[in-house]
Amino acid sequence: MKYLRLSFLLPFLFNFNAFIMAQTPADTGLIQNVFARQIVDLDGRWNYMVDPYENGYYDYRHQAYDQSASDRGGFYDDRKPSDKNELIEYDFDLSPTLKVPGDWNSQEEKLLYYEGTVWYRRKFDVSPQAGKRYFLYFGAVNYEAHIYLNGKKLGMHKGGFTPFQFEVTGKLAAGENSIVVKVDNTRHADEIPTVNTDWWNYGGVTRDVLLAEAPAVFISDYKIQLGRNNTIEGYVQLNGASLSKDVTVSIPEAGIKQTVHTDASGRAAISFPAKKLTLWSPGQPKLYTVTIHTAGDDVSDRIGFRTVEVKGRDILLNGKPVFLRGVSIHDENPLIPGRNRGEGDLRMLLTWARQLNCNYVRLAHYPHNEKMLRLADEMGLMVWAEVPVYWTISWTNPDTYRNAEKQLTDMVIRDKNRASIIIWSIGNETPVSEPRLSFMGKLAAKAHELDNSRLVSAALEVHRQGDVAVVDDPLGEKLDLVSFNEYAGWYWGDKPSDLTRYRFDIKYDRPVVITEFGGDALGGFHADSATRWSEEYQASLYRYQLQLLQTIPGLRGMTPWILVDFRSPRRQHPVYQNFWNRKGLISETGQKKEAFWVLKDFYDQQEKKYQ
Ligand code: GCU
């Protein structure tokens, strides 16, 4: 991460920036690889105010304050009394602070269950440079964010797990600036996700915030991946004015250097021979430094090159059949409860997955931190990436669909250069109905349209006819894999040993990747294997599950639920749960349960089979 050079500016600067603003297209798509830019890191302690009645946004008649009117009362003005008798009923300077990135639930005892609005305020000094452009970038804010700079509204964003940005060229003050963010994590039936989830509704500015600097014309986006017939394919996109320019893509270590010329919209397709690249794989997670250059701008990225496809019942990585030895993971640190805060948290989770002898992880149920995908690239873990189209979504609401499609699009835009991602998932366990099939069918088509270089899937529904678990969910027709969650031995079937009587009837003759199975165990609770909640019960359940799943001819992978215990508002048993979902193979204290070793043994065998 590079930091913005602070330099003194000349008075003519403002009208120059105003000129740039006039030329700049309104919608600046997400800056690809924003951390490679010159940035001011805005993480750290932000002042905050809890505002359950949104008193900082509405007056006592519940009318939103009018920013232009003199009676401005919004907290976003970040004002102080001009003299000793002025009435202002808020003061960020005198308010406590929260760490950013970070959810509020895990930082303040009184906010553990809080759902509503919290105002955040950060002051920072910057001296914008002539001819440069500036973007305020948020890695994620859960759930709805209204963003203000120096009292002026920049815009709003919905969606708790995808990045967003606003161009602030010409809007920054020389010296001190104030960012105010209204964050509201209230759940709503028509949102994505909806009101009911089996994970904690962590609210807040949960990922990095930064101010990025870019030249007047810069490389705002690119896709550089290995396509079919050993060709490097994708595109480069410039942003700014007079965009028809030469752009050179170099991969020095591979002796590749290709120049393309962008059209008037600043875009150029790239397609050139990959020569003798070392392909990325879990066994050899080779990353190349790729540099993109145009007059006035350069950006570098670390990119792995690999292919993934389905052939009959096999998943082929670089043309070779692979078995996905996986585990599901939430974006949560169990040891210091709360959303993952940075690379340390993320590396801990992926290291645990590696200790399980995983070559694959399911990042459930929403886009994880961008750094998680970069770590998966580096550590050699294939990834199932997912949007939170989870359970009982409002299928007939067009705004809900647009929201789902936007979150899917932003996830693909952000992570399309990550070799580790092999599967885009459009959702989880959504109940079968016509409206749901229409909604999810469109979303599947959108995923394939956004990226034809990866597989598209979702956790499908399973239903039981006696001792037969039937997978004939019509959504399966639209997907590249057959993936589903089944909880034989926990939610249905009696004790684990009963699992021997079940079998699967799967309608689709495609690779089968089980997205969830498992059961709870309170770490450290030991009893016989028929005693629910004991580690022995969970270990027995895994043994019988693995036996049952191997009866599926097309079984090509699995991501048991789940790597580590996680917080959930739906798990109230006062002894065994205490608002924790205990299906983790590791407890929230980092203790590996018996079932961890059962699964590891199985993965050791699978690894030998697929050498
Ligand atoms: C569901 C769901 C998970 C949930 C799990 C459970 O299948 O996908 O999000 O946590 O089952 O019940 O523990």
Residues 303 and 189 in one domain: no
For residue 75, pLDDT beyond 50:
yes
Cβ 559 under 6 angstroms from ligand 1: no
The atom of ligand 1 lying closest to the CA of 583 is 13
Name the band, by pLDDT with cuts 50, 70 and 90, for residue 12.
very low
Cβ 485 under 6 angstroms from ligand 1: yes
For residues 13 and 371, the model is more confident at: 371
The atom of ligand 1 lying closest to the CA of 429 is 8
Lowest mean pLDDT across 5-19, 20-34, 469-483 = 5-19
Cβ 428 under 6 angstroms from ligand 1: yes
pLDDT of residue 24: 32
Residues 336 and 478 in one domain: yes
Residue at a domain's end among 275, 308, 341: 308
Residue at a domain's end among 264, 293, 308: 308
Residues 545 and 563 in one domain: yes
For residue 17, pLDDT beyond 70:
no
Largest Cα–Cα distance in the chain? 80
User: Which is it for strands 320-321 and 314-317: parallel, antiparallel or unpaired?
Assistant: antiparallel
For residue 3, pLDDT beyond 70:
no
Residue at a domain's end among 160, 183, 215: 215
Residues 512 and 427 in one domain: yes
Average pLDDT of span 157-176: 97
Q: Which amino acid is residue 587, in one-letter code?
A: S
Residues 235 and 357 in one domain: no
Domain hosting residue 435, numbered range: 310-609
Residues 302 and 329 in one domain: no
What's the predicted TM-score (pTM) here?
A: 0.94
What sign does the CA torsion over 72, 74, 80, 85 have?
positive
How far is ligand 1, taken at its centre, from the CA of residue 5, in Å? 47
| CATH number for position 339 | 3.20.20.80
Question: Which stretches of 356-433 are DSSP H helices?
Answer: 370-379, 398-415
* Domains: count for the chain: 3
What is the per-residue pLDDT across 460-484, written as a single tens digit (0 to 9) for each?
999 999 999 999 999 999 999 999 9
pLDDT of residue 5: 43
Name the band, by pLDDT with cuts 50, 70 and 90, for residue 275.
confident
Q: Six-digit token pair at 548?
A: 């049952």
Give me the percent of the chain exceeding a pLDDT of 90: 92
| CATH number for position 103 | 2.60.120.260
Cβ 429 under 6 angstroms from ligand 1: yes
Average pLDDT of span 518-523: 98
Residues 105 and 195 in one domain: yes
Contacts by 55-62 with C-beta closer than 8 Å and gap 24+? Answer: 55/89, 56/90, 56/117, 56/119, 56/182, 57/117, 57/146, 57/182
Residues 575 and 545 in one domain: yes
Residues 445 and 318 in one domain: yes
**Ligand 1 atom 6 nearest Cα:** 198
Residues 87 and 188 in one domain: yes
Residues 141 and 45 in one domain: yes
How far is ligand 1, taken at its centre, from the CA of residue 110, in Å? 27
Cβ 106 under 6 angstroms from ligand 1: no
For residue 145, pLDDT beyond 60:
yes
How far is ligand 1, taken at its centre, from the CA of residue 312, in Å? 29
| Residue pointed to by tokens 């002026």 | 152
The atom of ligand 1 lying closest to the CA of 459 is 8
Distance between CA atoms of 489 and 547, rounded to whole angstroms? 12
For residue 457, pLDDT beyond 50:
yes
Name the band, by pLDDT with cuts 50, 70 and 90, for residue 72.
low
Task: Name the helix (H) or strand (E) containing 59.
Answer: none
Task: Name the helix (H) or strand (E) containing 541.
Answer: helix 535-549
Q: Is 252 helix (H, G, I), strand (E, B) or coil?
A: helix
The atom of ligand 1 lying closest to the CA of 581 is 13
Residues 578 and 591 in one domain: yes
| CATH number for position 245 | 2.60.40.10
For residue 602, pLDDT beyond 50:
yes
